[in-house]
């Protein structure tokens, strides 16, 4: 008997194959095998003329989705059909969440199996879990499929209905999305708060003291004459003044300096000592959301990179399923974690009783286990053989899981009140009495031992009535800070707290926000753009429900109810889209009331200018004294919260008066200007004229501003690239220049040798570096792009042709053998332990031969079809440009179908804005056909 098992990805297939008997064939569907049409070309001819076909959902026929098999999946479907013909049984082993259920349902609809079918689910890929799952199969859950399909249809309706409206009213290529637009609004609200923020200033004193035994410690002024001293929390963010009702003492600079001089020579006495014991419990094991947050804080990984890495770890069998809201651990996991604690830290570090955690997130669903190391025993990070991001993320998951079964950390907070005349100072300390789980894991710290030291602030032994000596007294100024911008971690936490979207979709949503130009990343912060302000303003004014936090969270709760059968999906869709206040009705009623000029305009307080969104981005528009309108582009790195009247005046002055010259070039006599463009400030030699349409320009390097730019530095920048001299070994030129990633030197070794680059060090100056220093840098080994050299799983030996090593490695798509630049995957049945050098050489030879064959085939095709392609392209460009520009917009993609940018010759396809999935092995999420 032959059983066909279908999973999503090749890596998952390879891992599972090792745990099943010989009668099982495991193959991959490569994610979804069908989906709603993503372009007009995918719409079947039979319905192409239907008005609803562009939407991909037949609104009039019970919201029936139009599912198509994409071109790149037809070969996969054919292979699955051929495999099924040889099978006596079909097992659908896709992931156990709603989308995995949907993939299984679509496989049934397309393959139409005539053999018995089972649905197999598991939360980790280990031999024990897979063998247990194969014995406990079930049928496809229709409620889960309905919930997934409803989500898919909702996202399509919102995206395809609102995005064309944004194109008409604001700019082409924009998108709206059910969750995406709410997330953008969160960023905009925070940026508005930063712009409205008014800074407050306060002063306090910091004393450097010593105890009776001359041990130093610090204390800060907290009260005067019994009244609390003002801190940042006492200020009103809207006024920059002390908030109404706050009875505090606010010191200015003069008062602080006077007080410092008076108290320095006073008698300092310990007025009171307070010790407060504290117990801290470990955090629960990871969910999808908390893993994304902590990986962003600790590892600086984006949500997208975190999920991609976690998926690879799951498919290789290292961790349990990475899409979960649950903090629950199985008994097996608890026992494995406690065994690790006992072995590595000792029994005294175990929690007295096994810990179990309860899920508190709004709308939590799919209560699987938390994310943890896979198996009944946990491999330590060093035992996995992982490297790079995979090792870092596994290490994070391992530590968090082990720590949750460890004893509480016990600490004591110590506070000493120090009095001098009418002033009260406070010295604070913290003592770690027992580190407990700190030994394994501390949130926000990569080194638990170092974290323990950092957390412990010891005060010298002090007793009430002791006199202490003041060694120094310093007056300190403090300025209140505006609300911090969202990092990816903070945005994920906010979305989860509000019950908006699914944690498994956050990576996709944040990626889309950045890709679409609604936010840019400055350091670790997400900063909304002026375009985000315009789109959010339009949606708030005309479709407030769609960007309301409560309304969007209720949609999530309804989808949860559909997944359990409590709510019927079809009436809900009808009400949402076709009801009296439905989306379709709202757009038809309000579209004519939206003025494009108003929609493109962003009004910012305290600015006597309009900010507008144009074809090439944001620009400022002012009217001068003569009534003339002046426009100037805003630099792309200028943020809405930081834009002020002075910056606008400089941009307008540059536009009307031309740039100010900082001097003349000593050789040519041409003026040297500092200008600000779309990509920031730059220096320019001479003016733009008909004879000189493209004068030499160089961007200012990091750390150099127009204000601190000197003529000498400007001349140095304009001299780039600089010829430093000839390399003594090759007699080829060595140059210094400034590139996208900073200053560098390059050794041009000719056509055969290529170019050898080195980045300059922090102390090197690109305008003055010498040939001698450049040769020193070139002599150093080139820095590897990867953080860590990959460790082979096994070394098979030298290749007989060149004695170069032949090694086995773990890659994102499974285990492979490598020789030089040739990588070859293992054949079915081959494992790390069983593969011989001879077998590896066969695999490598086959792969190398395949590459040569592909190269010859490609060359032949290129030679034979160049003329034909050129002719065809020219014909298409001439005949279809107008049609594609006007009709293609309303075609497809979740929130923005394909668009043609008029300033470019080629057609570009925007990404789906509200993809509810981030799985690299899936084309996009799908829904069950309405019936």
List residues with catalytic annotation: 321
37 touches 892 (CB < 8 A): yes
Sign of CA dihedral 777, 782, 784, 788: negative
Identify the CA nearest to 534 among candidates 607, 622, 599.
599
Residue 784 backbone dihedrals phi, psi, to 5 degrees: -75, 145
Mention every residue, 6+ apart, whose C-beta is less than 8 A from residue 198: 236, 237, 238, 239, 240, 241
296 touches 487 (CB < 8 A): yes
- Residue 495 burial by Cβ neighbours in a 10 Å radius (0-12, 13-18, 19+): buried
Cα Rg of the chain, angstroms: 33
Q: What is the DSSP string of 638-670?
A: --TTT--HHHHHHHHHHHHH-PPEEEE-TTT--
CA distances from 482 to 183, 191, 233 (A): 20, 10, 12
328 touches 357 (CB < 8 A): yes
Give the C-alpha separation, 210 to 330, whole Å: 53
CA distances from 907 to 170, 394, 882, 884, 899 (A): 20, 41, 12, 9, 7
CA distances from 154 to 161, 555, 895 (A): 11, 10, 11
Structure tokens at 569: 């999906």
**Exposure of 501 in the CB half-sphere (CA atoms within 13 A):** 30
Give the C-alpha separation, 752 to 549, whole Å: 60
Give the C-alpha separation, 311 to 327, whole Å: 18
Query: How many Å separate Cα 285 from the centre of its chain?
Result: 21
Structure tokens at 715: 């001349």
806 touches 799 (CB < 8 A): yes
DSSP class of residue 43 equals S
Burial 237-246 (b: 16+ CB within 10 A, else e): beeeebeeee
């Amino acid at each position: 008997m032959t059983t066909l098992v279908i999973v999503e990805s090749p890596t998952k297939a390879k891992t599972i194959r090792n745990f099943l008997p010989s009668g099982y064939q495991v193959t991959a569907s490569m994610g979804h095998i069908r989906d709603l049409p993503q372009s007009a070309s995918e719409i079947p001819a039979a319905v192409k003329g239907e008005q609803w076909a562009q939407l991909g959902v037949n609104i009039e026929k019970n919201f029936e989705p139009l599912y198509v098999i994409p071109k790149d999946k037809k070969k996969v479907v054919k292979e699955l059909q051929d495999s099924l013909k040889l099978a006596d049984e079909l097992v659908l082993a896709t992931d156990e969440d709603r989308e995995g259920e949907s993939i299984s349902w679509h496989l049934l609809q397309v393959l139409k199996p005539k053999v018995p079918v089972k649905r197999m689910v598991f939360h980790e890929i280990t031999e024990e879990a897979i063998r247990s799952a194969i014995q406990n199969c079930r049928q496809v859950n229709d409620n889960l499929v309905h919930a997934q399909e409803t989500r898919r249809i909702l996202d399509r309706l919102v995206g395809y209905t609102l995005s064309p409206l944004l194109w008409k009213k604001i700019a082409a290529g924009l998108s709206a999305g059910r969750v995406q637009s709410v997330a953008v609004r969160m960023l905009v609200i925070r940026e508005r708060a930063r712009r409205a923020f008014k800074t407050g200033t306060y002063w306090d004193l910091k004393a450097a003291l010593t105890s009776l035994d001359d041990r130093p410690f610090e204390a800060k002024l907290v009260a005067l004459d019994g009244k609390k001293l003002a801190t940042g929390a006492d200020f009103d963010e809207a006024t920059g003044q002390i908030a109404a009702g706050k009875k505090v003492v606010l010191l200015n600079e003069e008062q602080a300096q006077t007080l410092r001089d008076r108290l320095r020579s006073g008698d300092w006495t310990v007025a009171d000592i307070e010790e407060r014991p504290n117990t801290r419990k470990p955090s629960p094991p990871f969910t999808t959301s908390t893993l994304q947050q902590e990986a962003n804080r600790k590892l600086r990984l984006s949500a997208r990179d975190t999920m991609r890495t976690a998926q690879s770890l799951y498919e290789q069998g290292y961790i349990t399923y990475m899409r979960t809201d649950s903090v629950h651990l199985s008994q097996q996991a608890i026992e494995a974690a406690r065994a690790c604690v006992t072995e590595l830290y000792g029994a005294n570090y175990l929690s007295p009783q096994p810990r179990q955690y309860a899920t508190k997130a709004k709308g939590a669903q799919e209560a699987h286990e938390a994310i943890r190391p896979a198996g009944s025993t946990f491999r330590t990070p060093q035992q996995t053989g992982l490297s790079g991001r995979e090792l870092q993320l596994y290490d994070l998951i391992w530590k968090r899981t082990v720590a949750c079964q460890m004893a509480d950390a016990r600490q004591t907070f110590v506070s000493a009140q120090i009095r001098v005349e009418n002033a009260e100072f406070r010295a604070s300390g913290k003592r770690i009495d027992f580190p407990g789980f700190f030994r394994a894991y501390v949130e926000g710290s990569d080194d638990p031992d170092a974290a323990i030291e950092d957390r412990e602030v010891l005060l010298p032994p002090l007793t009430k009535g002791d006199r202490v000596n003041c060694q120094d007294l310093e007056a300190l100024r403090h300025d209140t800070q505006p609300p911090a911008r969202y990092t990816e971690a903070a945005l994920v936490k906010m979305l989860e707290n509000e019950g908006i979207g699914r944690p498994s979709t956050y990576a996709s949503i944040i990626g889309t926000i950045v890709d679409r130009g609604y936010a840019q990343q400055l350091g670790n912060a997400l900063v909304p753009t002026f375009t985000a302000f315009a789109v959010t303003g339009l949606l708030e004014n005309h479709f407030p429900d769609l960007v309301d936090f409560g309304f969007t969270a209720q949609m999530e709760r309804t989808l949860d109810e559909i997944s359990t059968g409590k709510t019927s999906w079809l009436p809900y869709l009808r009400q949402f889209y076709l009801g009296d206040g439905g989306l379709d009705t709202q757009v038809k009623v309000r579209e004519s009331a939206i003025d494009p000029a108003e929609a493109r305009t962003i009004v910012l307080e305290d600015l006597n200018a309009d900010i507008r969104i144009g074809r090439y981005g944001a620009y400022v528009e002012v009217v001068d004294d003569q009534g003339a309108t002046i426009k100037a582009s805003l630099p792309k790195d200028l943020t809405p919260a930081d834009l002020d009247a002075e910056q606008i005046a400089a941009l307008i002055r540059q536009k009307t008066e031309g740039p100010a010259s900082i001097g003349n070039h000593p050789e040519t006599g041409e003026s040297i200007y500092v200008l600000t463009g779309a990509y920031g400030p730059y220096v320019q030699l001479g003016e733009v004229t008909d004879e000189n349409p493209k004068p030499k320009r160089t961007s200012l390097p990091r750390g150099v501003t127009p204000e601190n730019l000197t003529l000498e530095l400007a001349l140095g920048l304009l001299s780039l690239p600089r010829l430093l001299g000839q390399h003594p070994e090759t007699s080829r030129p060595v140059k210094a220049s400034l590139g996208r990633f900073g200053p560098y030197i390059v050794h041009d070794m000719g056509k055969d040798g290529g170019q050898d680059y080195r980045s300059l060090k922090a102390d090197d100056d690109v305008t003055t570096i010498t040939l001698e220093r450049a040769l020193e840098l070139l002599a150093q080994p080139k820095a590897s792009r990867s953080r860590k050299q990959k460790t082979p799983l096994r070394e098979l030996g030298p290749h007989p042709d060149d004695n170069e090593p032949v090694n086995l490695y773990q890659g994102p798509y499974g285990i492979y053998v490598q020789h030089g630049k040739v990588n070859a995957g293992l054949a079915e049945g081959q494992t790390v332990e069983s593969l011989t050098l001879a077998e590896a050489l066969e695999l490598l030879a086959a792969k190398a031969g395949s590459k040569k064959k592909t190269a010859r085939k490609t060359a032949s095709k290129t030679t034979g079809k160049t003329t034909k392609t050129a002719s065809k392209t020219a014909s298409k460009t001439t005949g279809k440009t107008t049609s594609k520009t006007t009709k293609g917009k309303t075609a497809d993609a979740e929130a923005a179908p394909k668009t043609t940018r008029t300033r470019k010759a080629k057609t570009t396809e925007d990404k789906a804005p509200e993809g509810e999935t981030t799985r690299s092995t899936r084309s996009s999420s799908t829904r069950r056909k309405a019936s």
